[in-house]
Amino acid sequence: MILAAETNESLAQMSNMLVYSSMAVYTLAFLAHIAEWVLGSRSKVGRTAAALTSPAAAPAVTVQVKTAGGGTAVLDKPKVVTRSGAGARDVPDGPGAAGGSVKGDLYGRIAVSLTALAFLIEAAGVITRAMSVQRAPWGNMYEFSTTFSTVVVGAYLGFLVAKKNVRWIGLPLVTTVLLDLGVATTWLYTDSDQLVPALHSYWLWIHVSTAIFCGAVFYLGAVATLLYLFRDSYENKLATGGDPGSFARSVMERLPSAASLDKFSYRVNAAVFPLWTFTIIAGAIWAGDAWGRYWGWDAKEVWSFITWVGYAAYLHARATAGWKGRKAAYIALIAFGCFLFNYYGVNIFVSSKHSYAGV
């Protein structure tokens, strides 16, 4: 018994060490992302800016085809661009955070490699924490935070493995993960311990794991939505003859177009919304097993439902004429704000049945 306790304590200390080690590697990834943005080619960015402000059509690509008489004819194949909306401007995507330069791309690849390494180290820390208590590592806010940051980085890396152009998320993602882990290790840390009897259920694995995954994807959608608002304002300024500053031009022109950002945020939010619906249903079933009632208007339950309503309103707004674009984006950010309050606000400031181990 004593040996088992000592082993669990050693595993808990190893978990803490791995989490701090991942923070060190994330910091290096953050610096590499900064280098990617700073050292990227500004000339490529300038050419993209010129393409936005030029009234001429995008450059054509000549294609030779065989004619019926045996000769050749030259056809113009227009450059594919994204359309931000019906009757709105056509805007090409930016060259990316690296700005199209070899040096910028090198630092970007280094940043992604470091992010992947930090992800593996942090994941090992989460697994070691689970081994130290022999349960799912989601019993308090510290464990939830470390698992959440691990999953959100894993989702980002999954998009990259799937060949999706999402490297522009890297800098805000790593910054947020560092803040999340800093708060978790400084203010939310709780010694590993066993759960109260109500949480000893296989529904813990189902309900909480889906909640963490949904939050991670909602976060990626929120980042894309926020960047969409900035990029859309920038494109509007260019379209009306405005002259943005050099810093705004350097940053905004490397991002995907507003249409691409809007499309990405909509797709990820729409894809994960059914899973969030399942999360609420799974929580209700678990509550029926643990407390004898499926719904009791507990603060956590209420704000989970408010978050569901927020994202349902966003998806409905996207399908409603006159509410696409910025109006729908504001609803998406409000919905994600509800998710954050459900996690931090309810857990810290509101007493509920979901308050088990302090923070």
Mind listing the pLDDT tens digit for each residue in 106-120? 999 999 999 999 999
pLDDT band at 86 (very low <50, low <70, confident <90, very high): very low
Look at residue 82 in the predicted model and tell me its pLDDT.
Answer: 43
- Structural tokens at position 43: 């000339």
C-alpha to C-alpha distance for 101 and 255, rounded to whole angstroms: 15
C-alpha to C-alpha distance for 182 and 24, rounded to whole angstroms: 11
At residue 238, does pLDDT exceed 50?
Answer: yes
Q: What is the DSSP letter of 208?
A: I
Angle CA 96–101–103, to nearest 5: 110
Average pLDDT value for the chain: 85
pLDDT band at 74 (very low <50, low <70, confident <90, very high): very low
Look at residue 3 in the predicted model and tell me its pLDDT.
Answer: 57
Look at residue 24 in the predicted model and tell me its pLDDT.
Answer: 98
Candidates 265, 264, 263, 257; CA nearest to 58 is 257
For residues 261 and 86, which has the higher predicted lDDT (pLDDT)? 261
- Strand 82-83 and strand 72-78: the pairing is unpaired
292: left (phi over 0), alpha (psi -120 to 50) or beta: left
Residue 192 in contact with residue 16, Cβ under 8 Å? no
Tell me if residue 13 falls in helix, strand or coil.
helix
Look at residue 330 in the predicted model and tell me its pLDDT.
Answer: 96
What is the chain's percent helix, strand, coil content, to nearest 5?
70, 5, 25
**Model pTM?**
0.85
For residues 46 and 271, which has the higher predicted lDDT (pLDDT)? 271
For residues 357 and 249, which has the higher predicted lDDT (pLDDT)? 249
Over its C-alpha atoms, the chain yields an Rg (Å, rounded) of 24
Tell me if residue 339 falls in helix, strand or coil.
helix
- Structural tokens at position 233: 């304002």
At residue 233, does pLDDT exceed 90?
Answer: yes
At residue 62, does pLDDT exceed 70?
Answer: no
Tell me if residue 201 falls in helix, strand or coil.
coil
Mean pLDDT of 89-95: 79
Mean pLDDT of 43-49: 63
Residue 101 in contact with residue 39, Cβ under 8 Å? yes
pLDDT band at 177 (very low <50, low <70, confident <90, very high): very high
Q: What is the pLDDT of residues 289-340, one digit of tens each?
A: 878 888 888 888 999 999 999 999 999 998 886 788 899 999 999 999 999 9
| Residue indicated by tokens 């953050």 | 30
Q: Of the given ranges (50-59, 279-288, 301-310), which has the lowest mean pLDDT? A: 50-59
Q: What is the percent of the chain where pLDDT is above 70? A: 81
Look at residue 4 in the predicted model and tell me its pLDDT.
Answer: 60
Look at residue 201 in the predicted model and tell me its pLDDT.
Answer: 80
- Structural tokens at position 288: 């029926």
Look at residue 230 in the predicted model and tell me its pLDDT.
Answer: 95
pLDDT band at 61 (very low <50, low <70, confident <90, very high): very low
Mean pLDDT of 3-23: 85
Look at residue 195 in the predicted model and tell me its pLDDT.
Answer: 72
Mean pLDDT of 131-155: 91
Look at residue 346 in the predicted model and tell me its pLDDT.
Answer: 87
Look at residue 76 in the predicted model and tell me its pLDDT.
Answer: 41
For 178, residues 6+ apart whose C-beta sits below 8 A from its C-beta are 23, 26, 27, 30
Q: Give Dmax over CA atoms of the chain in angstroms.
A: 91
- CA dihedral (145, 147, 153, 156) in degrees, to 10, reads -110
Residue 79 in contact with residue 92, Cβ under 8 Å? yes
Residue 264 in contact with residue 231, Cβ under 8 Å? no
C-alpha to C-alpha distance for 188 and 66, rounded to whole angstroms: 69
223: left (phi over 0), alpha (psi -120 to 50) or beta: alpha
